[in-house]
Amino acid sequence: MKVKLTKKFIDSVDYTTKGTDIYMDDVLTGFALRVGKQSKRYTLHKRINGKLYRDEVEETHLITLTEAREKASIMMAN
């Protein structure tokens, strides 16, 4: 699902009962929120030669959304 990630939205999303849910960001392409049974994490999705790679940026309670976007854009450049 593609949404504009905001602090309010992230706080309102409930943990899943089964599996994981992924919310892609409208602002930064490839940046996403992954919600599991016990955690919420910022992730980065990128394609290299047609293959999808997912890198964990950080857990939501350890870093702000703005810092996570900046970190993800630096990770994308590398």
- H helix runs in 1-78, sequence order: 7-12, 65-77
> Which domains are seen in the chain, by residue range?
2-77 (3.30.160.390)
Does residue 11 have a pLDDT over 90? Answer: yes
pTM of the model: 0.89
CA 29 to chain centre: 10
pLDDT classification of 77: cutoffs 50, 70, 90:
confident
16-59 tens-digit pLDDT: 999 999 999 999 999 999 999 999 999 999 988 999 999 999 99
Does residue 7 have a pLDDT over 90? Answer: yes
Instruction: Please provide the DSSP assignment of 33-47 as one string.
Output: EEE-SS-EEEEEEEE
